[in-house]
A and B are shown apart, each in its own frame.
Chain A
Amino acid sequence: MSQADGLVASHPAERHDLGLDPGQTQWKSRLEALLGEGARAGADLVEVFLERTDHIGVLAEQDTITSVSPAFGMGAGIRVFKGHRDGFVSTNDLSDAGLLLALDQALAMLSLERNAAASLKAFEGLKPLRDFAIDKHQWLSQSPDLATSTALLLQGTNLLERHGKHLDVRRGSYSRDWQEVLVAASDGTFGHDIRLHQSSGLSVLAADGEHRASIGRRYGTTDRPDDLRNWDVESSAIEVCSSAAKMLYADYVDGGQMPVVLANRFGGVIFHEACGHLLETTQVERGTTPFADQVGEAIAHSAVTAIDEGLSAGAFGSISMDDEGMESERTVLIENGVLKRFLSDRAGEMRTGHARTGSGRRQSHGFAAASRMRNTYIAAGPHKPEDLISSIDKGLYCKSMGGGSVGATGQFNFSVEEGYLIENGQLGQPVKGATLIGEAKEVMPRISMCADDLDLAAGYCGSVSGSIFVTVGQPHIKVDSITVGGR
């Protein structure tokens, strides 16, 4: 029986409840058969991404659990490359027939078809498995059960009540995302991994008459089953309540051009939006980055060194291998202001020539991988945070950031959740309603001081390959001038 016959002949019933552990299933032979079919059809490369997921989301409001939402699933994404083009098909059907149908569709997109004997290049089979999941099979069962997570969230909303004032709404949320992946490609790539992400957060809406403030904090880690159990929920509640109390009566900021100091941790979103996305080969391909031809040139102030780290222990954006089966690495993007590397995935390497960096990431099997950030941060500098503030006569201190985005022209924006005026080198009154906008080429040279207190924060990043877990980070930094949108 040929490999193809084997694929077609398998019973549809086997599509379900299949684990992806290649040590316990026949996935290797099934994948080799599939990849062989694609290679013989004339594809330059065929890649299969298999996924199994188990998610739980819990929400507590006031003193009640109001939502428990389990979800699970599995699926495959098949991508075929020919020249600089690629075709991608995703499906929930993991039967042999289902996978073959998806392969046929992907081939047809590139005007290829099976049994055409188009290629003399033989597929040499998969290499020995690189199994990053060896020690991870117990993670799901080691993660907190519903009783534990619901109890902790209720403890959190109770602590908010205890530490806060004028709180109309108190919320605690928790999500646990378990994902098992198996990646195989016709260049022999064969990798297996299990990822575990947990995220917990507290948020409040404080209201007093016409005054209102909504404040939230989210914490997240990867690969740590005990994360939620170790969560210092009281410190989190105190932090949220403290910020809400300060922001409740804050005035709206007056807009204009001014120097700003961005706090460490989630302040790192400025680099993520202003520059990080522009250093992905996806942007080089599109012609939407101003830095495309500037490797080796100064693109930022000499105070700036920026890194995209795949393996920061426990950090939300850490990955053992990327979603194309490549082991993760530490990538120095900018060193002392000089552009060193771009973040590249398989397609990015093929289309732009920038070598892969283990940065091919995707939300799920429904997306083709693309070059994406992992744990991205600006390195610590020599200053103390207070040095940055004291160097400013009149400006803005951004203690906590909201989300942001960057557009096709490289203009970025992000919102300030908790801000304070800086007057005569001192922190002044709290202000709200600020949005920072600018362009990377102009702003990166204006990051003139970095403090010595680098810290990371968990977040989610939405882009061409979906929403993924990332970390942003930085020490306190000073931007000499930026547009602050306000009233």
Chain B
Amino acid sequence: MTTTPSTAASTPLNVHALRDQLHALAKRDGIQRWDLGASCSTNASVQVDRGEAKQMKASQRSSITVRVWNEAGLVGITSTSDLSQSGLEKALTGAKEASRFGNADDVPGFSPLATAPIPELDRPLQPAQGIQTLLTRLKAAEHDLLAHHKAIETVPYNGLSEGSSERIYLNSDGALRQMQRTQASLYLYARAEEAGRKPRSGGAVRVALGSQGLDVQGCVEEAAQRTISHLNYQAIDTGRYLICFTPEAFLDLLGAFSSLVNARAVLDGVSLSQVESLGTSVAVPFFSLHDNGLHPGHVGAAPFDGEGTPTQRLCLIHNGRLESFLHSEATARRFGVAPTGHAGLGAKVSVGPDWFEVGTSEGTSSGTTHLHHATTTEPFVLIESLNALHAGVKASQGSFSLPFDGWLVRGGERISVESATVAGDIREVLNGIVHLEADAKVTHQGVCPHVWVDGLAITGEA
């Protein structure tokens, strides 16, 4: 028997059987209150190297997280990759053991919205094409990319994947959530080198509901253009510059400082915001920020979060003013508001952003509309991507010092910047925005226009 690798949506989890199983086990152990999050996924991916298959991978993964509330009302949690009866039993026992160390000062509860209606998402499941088809398409993409310029000799980082996943949430009060989705991704990062010059690289990413829907040609073109545009590089003088962030770069920066709008971080004292920050000005008046996990461009959208709370569009900053934080059930209770659909599942529940939308607040303007990344003639630095965010960002201090890829643009001519860093403070960035371009771009991370900021420090080798 030969099994063709496939990522077609696997047999759905039997959520009712799982609920009944857990209910029986909990009853046996005297556990009155519990909840559970489970996920299953299948994935297949390929990598190529100069026309040859390099590594092909597939996986089947499963995991459960169980929480229980003990007699004292304290919460314990355990995770396992074993979805069997014995795995579930062991997880329940572990959670009960861990509950002895639950935090009495901050006990998570069930989300009051765990049984509320959830939004309809138009994300039809896509059939898997199979790993040999993925391989053929990736080989062709690599071939096309290599053909774009003689200096592009390899595409050292590449991958084409497709997969399906399923997620459920249920609790002892009768909440029952279930979702399935499919997703595919392509990334191509080329490396180019010319005689006597340093190697340069550039890349692009695409995501889609299925591998058939991937914009392969667009990814090839973008990766090629970016790589080629970095060949003619020069060192940049250290100094302060007018900066234009690409949508991808600005979303990366904003994401690294998302603790600004994270209620958990606020309560933990590691955010730059405090409870009292709500209603205060944190950015220029024409700046707005929403979190919208339901955006049509969000391929990985889910209708509910880890606690079963429905996903929603949430205004975080409007007219430069901080309007709301991202919440779990526990943080929302502390703030006296409703959960926002941004929670994980844990003894201490994490909170995180879903899909940022950056834009100009309705009815406002920067007043500097002459700035545009494609036409502006005055000198500026166009930052294409930021690197090493895990190391160069101090979220609790607000500061960053990050290597970047980009260009010094003079009179419309782009000269790639060699080995440089950009540094600043996120508060200065948000208050130093001089313009948001009109056209927002839907990226795989969120929606954002090109963002102009004046006076950031750049350190170069010149």
Contacts and interface: CB of A to CB of B under 8 A. Distances in A.
Contacts of A89: 5, 57-59
A252 B59 CA distance: 46
Interface of A: 15-17, 58-59, 61, 64-75, 84-93, 101-102, 104-110, 113-115, 146, 150, 168-169, 205, 212-214, 252, 255-257, 285-288, 290, 347, 366, 368, 402-405, 407-411, 413-415, 432-435, 437-439, 483-487
Interface stretch (B81-89, B114-122, B161-169, B278-286): B81-89
B182 interface: no
B248 to A, nearest CB: 16
Interface of B: 1-5, 49, 52-63, 76-84, 86-87, 90, 94-95, 97-98, 100-103, 105-106, 131, 153-154, 156-157, 189, 191, 198-201, 238, 268-270, 346-348, 387-388, 390-392, 394, 396-399, 401-403, 419-424, 457, 459-461
Contacts of A87: 55-58
Contact of A285 (B49, B191, B199): B49
B154 A69 contact: no
Contact of B59 (A212, A287, A366): A366
Task: With a 10 A CB-CB cut-off, give which of A71, A109, A434 has the most chain B CB atoms.
Answer: A109
A360 to B, nearest CB: 14
Contacts of A15: 84
Given A73-B82, A214-B394, A433-B401, 9 more contacts: A91-B59, A92-B82, A108-B3, A109-B131, A114-B2, A169-B268, A255-B423, A405-B390, A486-B459
Contact of B3 (A73, A101, A484): A101
A286 B423 contact: no
A411 B348 contact: no
A106 B401 CA distance: 43
Contact of B238 (A70, A150, A255): A255
A214 B401 CA distance: 15
Classify the secondary structure of A's interface with B: strand
Contact of B2 (A75, A85, A108, A403): A108
B81 A74 contact: yes
B268 A61 contact: yes
B349 to A, nearest CB: 10
B419 A70 contact: no
B82 A409 contact: no
Contacts of B5: 89, 105, 108-109
B94 A72 contact: yes
Contacts of B154: 286-288
Contact of B78 (A64, A70, A410): A70
A75 B83 CA distance: 12
Contact of A487 (B63, B78, B103, B424): B424
Nearest to A98: B60
Contacts of B423: 252, 255, 433, 435, 485-487
A105 B101 contact: no
A404 B387 CA distance: 10
Task: With a 10 A CB-CB cut-off, give which of A88, A107, A288, A437 has the most chain B CB atoms.
Answer: A437
A347 B54 CA distance: 10
B419 A483 contact: yes
A483 B461 contact: yes
A255 B403 CA distance: 12
Please provide the 8 A-B residue pairs with the shortest distance between their CB atoms, ordered closest to farther: A485-B421, A255-B459, A73-B81, A403-B391, A286-B156, A113-B2, A71-B79, A109-B56
A256 B423 CA distance: 13
A402 B397 CA distance: 15
Contacts of A84: 52
A487 to B, nearest CB: 4
B191 A287 contact: yes
A108 B153 contact: no
B101 A255 contact: no
Contact of A413 (B55, B387, B457): B387
Contacts of A109: 5, 53, 56, 58, 131
Contacts of A435: 388, 391-392, 401-403, 421, 423
Contacts of A285: 49, 54
B403 A409 contact: no
A212 B238 contact: no
Nearest to A104: B3
Nearest to A17: B86
